[in-house]
Amino acid sequence: MADVSNLIAVVGAGPSGLYAADALATAGNRVDVLDRLPVPFGLVRYGVAPDHHSIRSVRDTLAKVLERPEVRLLAGVEVGTDVTVAELQDAYDAVVLTYGAARDRRLAIPGEDLVGSLAATDLVAWYCGHPDADRGGVEHALDGATSAVVVGVGNVAVDVTRVLTAPSERLDATDMPQHVLDLLAASGITDVHVLGRRGPAQATWTTKELRELGELDGVGVEVDALDLELEPVSAALVESDRVVARNVEVIRGWADQHAAPQRRHIYLHFHARPVEILGTDRVERVVVERTTIDDAGAAHGTGETYELEAQLVVRSVGYRGVALDGVPFDDRRNVIPNAEGRVLDPEGAPVPGLYVAGWIKRGPTGIIGTNKKDAAATVASVLADLGERDSDATGIADVLASRGIDVVAVAGWHAIDAAERALGAERGRDRTTLHDRAALLDAARG
């Protein structure tokens, strides 16, 4: 390994940040990984569905990065509040921003702000035990609901649908907080309607996640065969893309089946977009407009509408990044403008020493593994710009200490990890997530 030279800050301890830290450390650099939460792993901990154990296990691999002697964890530090980007630029040889795209996109339809209307990001944060989750708001929205509408046909929409309908036995083996498990076990939701504004060929879920809907005990999946009549552009997609073909095949199987009556039902609606949410004090019905697809694959409303009874609406129509003070931002694409990971100023020139990786670089696309290649590309730009030199950078740790910031280092994360495993063992599970920030910090202190 090369002699240790540069000191680099990585903002964000999710997959992109830790992949970047690993590549930087392997190249002989020291790395401080900052995250605003008291725990690492980002969306692997707080975005991947808790019943997807194999996917969530990637955090065991990411945890090894934090054990490297060249890497230091500074969790519980909010960049933009506890320390500015400008201060990081002064304290490090380079700064790599990997803080993701965690805000939701809105539907922009009447009634969207009624009680019972939620962003998928809020619901996912709640059932994953995110310390910033709006527990009261989510649980109030779920209270009394028997029918739900999920807007979107990506993997997050599938996750939400599965969690709302899954039998307790499946969820009991997860690391969900106990209050989440208790509420879901007592849930009265029997029907979930999933809306896709275009056809089944344009859905972005993966086949494995889609199939899981049909494997839930006590849950039936239904789809109208008329929704599976493919326009020319959809038929071409099926012919050219094996994943699309497999997805359509799975859905056609549900349209053809004559299953026994089930306790809960999932209804897939294609060519359907919500245009209004109706209700007095909370969600009561959703007005859905039928759509058609043109030769370019774009959806257009037909003016024909129908209504679905629902007390819960969950919008899952995408994530978006947010701006950080002092950093250029593309308000149209909701990403930080860059060229090969180098942040660009409004005139298109690289900002010295400032880089970006992950969703805040390219938008919310790809799977967890996509971030490794993306981070490597950014790290290549960092290394090319810095070259071989001795560094006099000291980092920001002393400044944070002088400001009284309660920083969680890797030892603190180990203590949190041990506390969660102990709590899980009490209930016969591998782990139970600590969802309260104060509890996380108490555990970190040992």
- Domain annotation for the chain: domains and CATH numbers: 7-102+321-408 (3.40.50.720), 104-318 (3.50.50.60)
Separation between Cα atoms, residue 74 and residue 408, nearest integer Å:
6
Separation between Cα atoms, residue 56 and residue 59, nearest integer Å:
6
Element (H, E) at 22: helix 15-26
Helix, strand, coil shares of the chain, percent, nearest 5, are: 40, 20, 40
Tell me which residue of 120, 122, 104, 100 sits closest to 335, measured CA to CA: 100
Whole-number pLDDT of residue 315? 97
Question: 400 by DSSP, 3-state: which?
Answer: helix
Other CB atoms within 10 A of residue 438 CB: 10
* DSSP code of residue 87: H
292 and 271 Cβ atoms separated by less than 8 Å: yes
Long-range CB contact pairs, 62-65, < 8 A, 24+? 62/15, 62/18, 62/19, 65/18, 65/19, 65/21, 65/22, 65/25
Separation between Cα atoms, residue 24 and residue 46, nearest integer Å:
25
Task: Name the residue type at position 330.
Answer: D
Helices (H), 219-321: 232-240, 242-256
Say if residue 321 is exposed, middle or buried (CB neighbours under 10 Å; 0-12, 13-18, 19+): buried
DSSP string covering 38-67, please?
SSS-HHHHHTS-TT-HHHHTHHHHHHHHHT
Total residues belonging to the chain: 446
Tell me which residue of 194, 195, 215 sits closest to 51, measured CA to CA: 215
The two three-digit tokens of residue 58, written as one number: 């990637």
Whole-number pLDDT of residue 259? 63
109 phi and psi angles, rounded to 5 deg: -130, 155
- For residue 311, CA distances in Å to 183, 271, 282, 387 come to 16, 22, 7, 58
Q: How many CA atoms lie within 13 A of 75 on its CB side?
A: 26
Q: Which residues have C-beta within 8 Å of that of residue 64, sequence separation ≥ 6?
A: none
Separation between Cα atoms, residue 80 and residue 182, nearest integer Å:
37
Whole-number pLDDT of residue 54? 84
Q: What is the pLDDT along the chain (446 residues), one digit of tens a residue?
A: 344 589 999 999 999 999 999 999 999 999 999 999 999 999 999 999 999 988 888 989 999 999 999 999 999 999 999 999 999 999 999 999 999 987 888 999 999 999 999 999 999 999 999 999 999 999 999 999 999 999 999 999 999 999 999 999 999 999 999 999 999 999 999 999 999 999 999 999 999 999 999 999 999 999 998 899 999 999 999 999 999 999 999 999 998 776 667 889 999 999 999 999 999 999 999 999 999 999 988 999 999 999 999 999 999 998 888 999 999 999 999 999 999 999 999 999 999 999 999 999 999 888 888 999 999 999 999 999 997 767 889 999 999 999 999 999 999 999 999 999 999 999 999 999 999 999 999 999 98
Element (H, E) at 91: helix 85-91
Answer yes or no: pTM beyond 0.85. Answer: yes
174 phi and psi angles, rounded to 5 deg: -90, 180
Separation between Cα atoms, residue 194 and residue 150, nearest integer Å:
5
The two three-digit tokens of residue 210, written as one number: 């889609």
* DSSP code of residue 198: S
Residue with tokens 């939620």, as numbered in its chain: 118
Tell me which residue of 174, 138, 134, 130 sits closest to 14, measured CA to CA: 130
